[in-house]
């Protein structure tokens, strides 16, 4: 196979980026006609629309028993009408087992070439994937393009690079020579990186590709076969990824069942049936903590989870309060807070926030926060596209319930009209003031556009609470604003002990919600928000085992 030669430079660049942790993007994140072609956007939209109401017939896997699909567009509040092949659990496992014994014997070099080639094919479908993501998750167009296309492909490339490097960390053979005085013992030794077996990747409804591709590609590069079980409400984006992987495998004489799509429906979900089967050795999961904890408890599995967490912002002192507030409110509004990294708890000292122009009181901060939220929501050129739409109706209910939280309601949630989609399911953030003593209120994730302004005694109490929440309930991100070097170090040290990364003093176009491939580790695996991290060495090394063989060197003559 020559695919590795075609992509060797890209693979080497990705490995170099993993070590340097500087900015690197294997796939451009801007939907520029100059990069992707003048008609790429319109072509992608047309392909998406052409798929509505039809069977998704691109998959190369075999043994389907029926067809089904239940995706609904949050923008149209109508069914997409797309149906997918349905397979029995046993068929999926049989297919994966058969393909495993072929795929595991493919060299790491050839596996890497095949997998990068699939990303190059997927690159040509980024716009189609963007519209598929919009109309399954509710993400705004730009986020849908970036997160499900280039950023997801970068995360996949990162997993390929990390896996390829680990597979080549040690020599496959060597001659071992131990001096014993007048003679020596000579052994030929060999080592094999043996994959664990069948991998199950359980997708989520809000980020169907970004959160799944690391597990998919991390398992494939290390020689495992993969069964991708998407969320019933968000199938199409990851189905396109799986289809392209299968096509490249088939073109290269390999069994496409090495990566299968396992679609189910809300009334007959198969995740537990798959996860509990003894043939499944690896599980990747993104979703709520209750189900994640259950998966982690199944004996005989290697499980990688990203679960729920409680993300905090610590306000101490700022250079420019208005820029800080603008950054934070954008983070709350971005995709209507439906991100695992979105801020929820804002710890603000009762004594106020220090600025070069004097103290900004708690109430002044709260009012600035509310005004900034309203300013963004009411901006017709920004609001609808930043907030997107609500993926799950239960999120709307949760926001409504938040207005009954004991405390001062600074801002009630409301609806607004998306100029492009009149029926879009939309809500704006609710902002509630909560006393620091009411830990039972803010010690759980309130998924969606919900911001709690928590009045603390001082910054020390803010830090203590943020660390305590992260250690006990998990956190994936943390924001902090301080101009004091000692306070900064205390926050960094305390939150590090809680295994929570901190974004300090962000203003402008970078937000605490965002994580960059090849540089930022997404989730640390060190607190209850998840036991794994995109993408550290452990994320790939736990997917295979080094096994060594040895025998005496034959004496010639």
Q: What is the pLDDT of residues 156-166, one digit of tens each?
A: 999 999 999 99
pLDDT tops 60 at residue 539: yes
Residue of 317, 369, 342 whose CA lies nearest to 143: 342
Residue 118 DSSP one-character state = H
Question: Tokens 């495998």 identify what position?
Answer: 249
Asked if residue 231 has pLDDT above 80, the reply is yes
If you compute the radius of gyration of the chain from its CA atoms, what whole number of angstroms results? 25
pLDDT in tens, 80-131: 999 999 999 999 999 999 999 999 999 999 999 999 999 999 999 999 999 9
Residues 55 and 203 in one domain: yes
Q: Are residues 285 and 322 in the same domain?
A: no
- Mark whether 78 and 136 lie in a shared domain: yes
Question: Two tokens at 40?
Answer: 């790429």
CATH of the domain at 461: 3.40.309.10
Do 542 and 423 belong together in one domain?
A: no
238 and 322 inside one domain: no
517 within some domain = no
Domain shared by 242 and 355, yes or no: no
> Is 0.85 topped by the overall pTM?
yes
Q: Are residues 303 and 316 in the same domain?
A: no
User: Does 556 fall in a domain?
Assistant: no
Question: Is residue 363 assigned to a domain?
Answer: yes
Q: Indicate whether 400 belongs to any domain.
A: yes
Q: Is residue 554 part of a domain?
A: no
Looking at the 3D structure of the chain, how many domains does it have?
2
Cβ partners under 8 Å of residue 126, min gap 6: 27, 31, 36, 40, 44, 145, 149, 150, 153
Question: What are 233-277's pLDDT values in tens digits?
Answer: 999 999 999 999 999 999 999 999 999 999 999 999 999 999 999
Contacts of 335 (CB under 8 A, 6+ apart): 138, 139, 140, 143, 206, 342, 386, 387, 388
Indicate the pLDDT class of residue 34, thresholds 50, 70 and 90.
confident
Do 359 and 476 fall within a single domain? yes
- Which CATH number goes with the domain that contains 142? 3.40.605.10
Give the rounded percent of residues in the chain with a pLDDT score beyond 90.
96
- At residue 555, the pLDDT reads 76
Question: SS3 for 86?
Answer: strand
- Residue 211's pLDDT band (cuts 50, 70, 90): very high
Could you tell me if residue 557 is inside a domain? no
Cis? peptide before 535, omega within 30° of 0: yes
117 class by beta-carbon count within 10 Å (0-12 exposed, 13-18 middle, 19+ buried): buried
- Residues 538-551 have a mean pLDDT of 98
pLDDT for the residue numbered 41: 96
Which residues on adjacent β-strands are paired with residue 84?
68
Determine the average pLDDT of the residues in 544-555: 95
Provide mean pLDDT across the span 213-220.
Answer: 98
288, 398: one domain: no
Indicate the SS3 state at residue 417: coil
Q: Do the domain assignments include residue 494?
A: yes
pLDDT tens-digit series, residues 139-149: 999 999 999 99
The pairing of beta strand 66-68 with beta strand 450-456 = unpaired
Same domain, 103 and 183: yes
The tokens describing 101, both together, are 């014994």
Within this chain, do residues 160 and 178 fall inside the same structural domain, yes or no? yes
Average pLDDT, the chain: 96
* Domain encompassing residue 383: 312-504
Question: Does the residue 518 lie in any domain?
Answer: no
Query: Looking at the predicted structure, is the pLDDT value of residue 1 above 80?
Result: no
For 487-498, write each residue's pLDDT tens digit: 999 999 999 999
Residue with tokens 């169907």: 208
Q: Would the pLDDT of 557 be above 70? A: no
Q: Are residues 275 and 345 in the same domain?
A: no
What mean pLDDT is predicted for residues 340-361? 97
Summarised one tens digit per residue, pLDDT across range 420-471 is: 999 999 999 999 999 999 999 999 999 999 999 999 999 999 999 999 999 9
């Amino acid at each position: 196979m020559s695919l590795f030669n075609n992509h060797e430079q890209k693979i080497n660049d990705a490995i170099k980026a993993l070590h340097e942790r500087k900015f690197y993007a294997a796939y451009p994140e801007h939907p520029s006609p100059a990069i992707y072609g003048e008609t790429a956007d319109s072509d992608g939209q047309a392909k998406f629309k052409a798929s509505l109401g039809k069977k998704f017939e691109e998959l190369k896997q075999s043994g389907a028993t029926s067809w089904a699909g239940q995706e609904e567009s949050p923008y149209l509040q109508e069914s997409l009408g797309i149906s997918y092949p349905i397979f029995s659990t046993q068929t999926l496992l049989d297919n994966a087992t058969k393909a495993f014994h072929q795929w595991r014997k493919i060299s790491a070099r050839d596996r890497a070439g095949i997998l990068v080639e699939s990303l190059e094919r997927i690159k040509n479908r980024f716009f189609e994937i963007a519209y598929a993501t919009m109309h399954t998750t509710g993400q705004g167009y730009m986020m849908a393009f970036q997160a499900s296309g280039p950023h997801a492909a970068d995360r996949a490339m990162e997993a390929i690079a990390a896996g390829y490097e680990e597979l080549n960390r040690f020599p496959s053979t060597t001659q071992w020579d131990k001096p014993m005085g007048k003679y020596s013992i000579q052994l030929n030794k060999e080592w094999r990186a043996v994959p664990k077996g069948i991998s199950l990747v359980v997708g989520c409804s809000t980020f169907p590709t970004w959160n799944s591709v690391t597990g998919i590609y991390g398992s494939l590069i290390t020689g495992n076969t993969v069964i991708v079980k998407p969320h019933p409400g968000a199938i199409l984006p990851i189905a396109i990824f799986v289809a392209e992987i299968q096509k490249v495998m088939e073109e290269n004489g390999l069994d496409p069942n090495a990566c299968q799509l396992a679609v189910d429906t809300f009334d007959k979900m198969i995740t537990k049936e798959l996860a509990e089967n003894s043939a499944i050795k690896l599980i990747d999961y993104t979703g709520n903590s209750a189900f994640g904890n259950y998966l982690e408890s199944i004996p005989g599995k290697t499980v990688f989870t990203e679960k729920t967490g409680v993300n905090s912002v610590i306000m101490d002192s700022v250079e420019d309060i208005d820029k800080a507030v603008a950054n934070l409110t954008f983070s709350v509004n971005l995709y209507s807070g439906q991100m695992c990294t979105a801020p929820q708890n804002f710890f603000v000292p009762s004594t106020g926030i220090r600025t070069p122009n004097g103290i900004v009181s708690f109430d002044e901060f709260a009012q600035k926060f509310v005004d900034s939220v309203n300013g963004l929501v009411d901006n017709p050129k920004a609001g609808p596209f930043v907030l997107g739409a609500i993926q799950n109706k239960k999120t709307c209910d949760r926001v409504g319930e938040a207005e009954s939280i004991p405390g001062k309601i600074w801002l009630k949630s409301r609806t607004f009209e998306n100029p492009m989609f009149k029926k879009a399911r939309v809500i704006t953030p609710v902002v509630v003031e909560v006393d620091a003593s009411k830990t039972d209120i803010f010690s759980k994730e309130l998924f969606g556009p919900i911001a709690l302004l928590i009045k603390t005694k001082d910054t020390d109490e803010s830090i203590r609470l943020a660390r305590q929440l992260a250690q006990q309930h998990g956190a994936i991100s943390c924001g902090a604003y301080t101009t004091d070097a000692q306070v900064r170090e205390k926050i960094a040290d305390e939150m590090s002990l809680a295994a929570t990364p901190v974004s300090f003093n962000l203003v402008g176009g970078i937000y605490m919600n965002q994580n960059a491939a090849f540089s930022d580790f997404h989730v640390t695996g060190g607190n209850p928000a998840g036991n794994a991290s995109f993408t550290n060495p452990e994320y790939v090394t736990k997917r295979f085992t080094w096994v060594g063989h040895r025998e005496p060197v034959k004496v010639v003559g």
